A = this chain, B = another copy of it.
Amino acid sequence: MTTPLEKARKDPESMKARILDVARRIFGQYGFHGTTTRMIAREVGIDISTLHYHWGGKKDLYESVVVDINKDLRQKLVEVEKVIHALPLNERLDISIDLTTDYLFEHPEISNLILLRYFGKTRSEGNFDSIIPEFTADIARSMGLARDKKNVPPETMMKVLAVMNSIHNFISGENFFRPMVKAERERYIALVKATLKFIHIPAFTQNEAKYNRLSCRLS
């Protein structure tokens, strides 16, 4: 049995897929309440009822969008992990910052949507996915900060969150931050990467060194 979402992803030309694509972008920009079904329909160039025909209701569409972007992000992270697999920590960070940043700058709706979900409430109750927690633990393991994705200590989770969030922030806040630093697009992207590396690499490598010294002394 294929879910509507899987069907949409299979054929990117289908109406289902076109709607989902536009919905990603608009929900990402305006958030759940800031988006109207009419905005999405207009952008796709169809009637609202067609949208309802394919996706049920606004809420349903939104949920599908969330699942969709999480799938994309997770897949990208798996891809990144393959590249950085056996490198030392500082290079792992360096490369994964580059790759992840580039990818998210090409798909800013992903960062937008994730952050809006973190920081904004929905009037209607009960939305909480276990997806994010789960793959935050994944990243921890992939960064070599935890053995397996079960039993990642809170301190490590927090560090991973800090890294991921700082990336999303600069992507999603581009409209705000870029004018502040008076840079055009390419320059801004370069600044983001440099800043992320400046902030994160010392933290993890310095403390790694500390741990190494410590374990030497102990052995």
Cβ-defined contact, B198 with A159, below 8 A: yes
Q: Is A191 an interface residue (CB 8 A)?
A: yes
7 A-B pairs in the complex with CB atoms less than 8 angstroms apart: A30-B121, A112-B119, A118-B177, A132-B176, A162-B195, A162-B196, A199-B203
Stretch from A65-73, A77-85, A88-96, A150-158 forming part of the interface with B: A150-158
What residues of chain B lie closer than 8 Å to A201, measured between beta carbons? 203
Q: How many copies does the complex hold?
A: 2
Other 4 A-B pairs with CB < 8 A, given A133-B179, A159-B199: A29-B121, A30-B122, A33-B33, A166-B169
Q: Is A142 an interface residue (CB 8 A)?
A: no
Given A136-B180, A158-B181, do A34 and B200 touch, yes or no (CB 8 Å)?
A: no
Name A's B-contacting residues (CB within 8 A). Answer: 29-34, 112, 115-123, 132-133, 136, 154-155, 157-159, 161-162, 165-166, 169-170, 172-173, 176-177, 179-183, 191-192, 194-196, 198-203, 206-207
